[in-house]
Structure 1
Amino acid sequence: MSKAIDTLPEAGVPLREKIAYGCGDLSSNLMWGMTSSYLMYFYTDIDGLPVTAVAWILLVARTFDAFCDPVVGWLLDRKGGIIIPKIIGRLSIAFGITGFLCFYTPPFSFHLRIFWAAFTYIIFGAIYSFINTPYGALGTMMTRSIHHRVGLNAFRMMGCQSGQIIVSSLTIPAIFWLGGGTDLIQRQQGTTRYAFILALTSIALWTVVSRNCHVRYPTPPTKQNFLRILKYLSNNRTLWLCNCLVFLQFMGLASLYGFSLYYARAVLGGSESLGSIILTIATITGFLGALFSQYINNILGFRKTFISTIFLQILCYTSLLIGNFHHTLFFCFFSLLTGSQGIASPLYFTLLSSAIDDGLKKTGVNTTGIAYSLNTLVTKFSMGITGFILAFLLSYGQYTADKAVFSINTQKWISDGFLGLPLVAACLQFGLIVLWPRKGALGSVRS
Structure 2
Amino acid sequence: MEKNTTSRLTLKQKIGYGCGDAGGLFTFSLMSAFFTRYCLNILGVSTKMLATLLLVWNVWDAVNDPMMGTLMDKAFAKNHDKRGKFRPWILRATPMLAVSAIALWTLPTLFDGVAMLAVLFVCKILYEGAYTMLNIPMGSMLSAMSDTDEERAQLSSARGFGSMAGGYTCSLAFPLILGIFGDTAKGYGIGATIMAICGGVVCFFHYYWTEERHNSAPAEDASNSIKVTDIFVVFRKNRAFLALCVHSLFFCSMLAITGNVGTYMYADVLGSLTMMSTASLISIPCSVLTLAVAPKLAKKVGLARLICAGLLISAVLYLALFGTIMFVNIPAIVYAVWATLASTFSSLAILMQWGMVGEAIDYNEYLTGKRTEGSIYGTFSLTRRIGTTIGSSLGVLMLGWTGYQVGAAAQSASALSGIKALSTLVPAICVLGSWFAFRFIWNITDDVRAKIAAAKQK
Please say if residues 20 and 213 of structure 1, whose CA atoms lie closer than 8 Å, have aligned partners that are also in contact: yes
Distance in 2 separating the partners of 1:380 and 1:404: 33
Question: Alignment partner for residue 203 of structure 1, among 200, 205, 229?
Answer: 200
Please say if residues 260 and 279 of structure 1, whose CA atoms lie closer than 8 Å, have aligned partners that are also in contact: no
Question: How far off is 1:167 after superposition?
Answer: 4.2
- The answer on 1:28 being equivalent to 2:20 is no
Question: Alignment partner for residue 127 of structure 1, among 119, 127, 130?
Answer: 130
Distance in 1 separating the partners of 2:448 and 2:66: 26
Give the unaligned 5+ runs of structure 2.
451-458
Question: How far off is 1:137 after superposition?
Answer: 1.6
Letter in 2 for 1:152: L
Match of 2:59 in 1: 63
Give the unaligned 5+ runs of structure 1.
181-185
Name which one, 1 or 2, has greater alpha-carbon Rg.
Answer: 2
Letter in 1 for 2:92: R
1:300/1:51 Cα in 2 relative to 1: closer, same or farther (>3 Å)? farther
* 1:162-183 Cα shifts (integer Å, max 9, x gaps): 3333345x26853663355xxx
Letter in 2 for 1:386: G
Match of 2:382 in 1: 377
- The answer on 1:141 being equivalent to 2:144 is yes
Pairing 1:147-162 to 2, within 5 Å after superposition: 147-162=150-165
Question: How far off is 1:245 after superposition?
Answer: 1.0
1:9/1:215 Cα in 2 relative to 1: closer, same or farther (>3 Å)? closer
SS of corresponding position for 1:292: helix
Question: How far off is 1:39 after superposition?
Answer: 5.0
Match of 1:74 in 2: 70
Question: Alignment partner for residue 85 of structure 1, among 77, 84, 87?
Answer: 87
Question: Alignment partner for residue 242 of structure 1, among 234, 241, 244?
Answer: 244
Question: How far off is 1:120 after superposition?
Answer: 5.1
Please say if residues 143 and 355 of structure 2, whose CA atoms lie closer than 8 Å, have aligned partners that are also in contact: no
Please say if residues 59 and 385 of structure 1, whose CA atoms lie closer than 8 Å, have aligned partners that are also in contact: no
Please say if residues 68 and 129 of structure 1, whose CA atoms lie closer than 8 Å, have aligned partners that are also in contact: yes
Moved more, 259-268 or 231-240: 259-268
* 1:203-255 Cα shifts (integer Å, max 9, x gaps): 11111111221122334353124145224312211111112112222223334
Question: How far off is 1:267 after superposition?
Answer: 5.0
Question: How far off is 1:377 after superposition?
Answer: 1.5
Question: How far off is 1:91 after superposition?
Answer: 1.3
Pairing 1:81-120 to 2, within 5 Å after superposition: 82-99=84-101, 106=109
Distance in 1 separating the partners of 2:261 and 2:36: 9
- The answer on 1:309 being equivalent to 2:310 is yes
Distance in 2 separating the partners of 1:418 and 1:30: 29
Please say if residues 143 and 359 of structure 2, whose CA atoms lie closer than 8 Å, have aligned partners that are also in contact: no
Distance in 2 separating the partners of 1:416 and 1:31: 34
Distance in 2 separating the partners of 1:393 and 1:42: 28
Match of 2:356 in 1: 351
TM-score by length of 2: 0.77
Question: How far off is 1:21 after superposition?
Answer: 0.6
TM-score by length of 1: 0.79
Please say if residues 164 and 283 of structure 1, whose CA atoms lie closer than 8 Å, have aligned partners that are also in contact: no
Question: Alignment partner for residue 328 of structure 1, among 333, 350, 357?
Answer: 333
- The answer on 1:214 being equivalent to 2:211 is yes
Distance in 2 separating the partners of 1:178 and 1:276: 23
State the identity %.
19
Count of residues in Structure 1 that have an aligned counterpart in Structure 2: 430
Please say if residues 220 and 366 of structure 1, whose CA atoms lie closer than 8 Å, have aligned partners that are also in contact: no
Question: How far off is 1:54 after superposition?
Answer: 6.2
Pairing 1:264-413 to 2, within 5 Å after superposition: 264=266, 268-270=270-272, 275-321=276-322, 323=325, 324-390=329-395, 407=411
Question: How far off is 1:367 after superposition?
Answer: 1.4
1:289/1:60 Cα in 2 relative to 1: closer, same or farther (>3 Å)? farther
Letter in 2 for 1:217: H
- The answer on 1:16 being equivalent to 2:16 is no
1:189/1:327 Cα in 2 relative to 1: closer, same or farther (>3 Å)? farther
Distance in 1 separating the partners of 2:399 and 2:119: 22
**RMSD over aligned Cα, in angstroms?**
4.1
Pairing 1:45-64 to 2, within 5 Å after superposition: 58-64=54-60
Moved more, 417-426 or 25-34: 417-426
Distance in 2 separating the partners of 1:421 and 1:118: 36
* 1:309-329 Cα shifts (integer Å, max 9, x gaps): 112322343455562432321
Please say if residues 256 and 395 of structure 2, whose CA atoms lie closer than 8 Å, have aligned partners that are also in contact: no
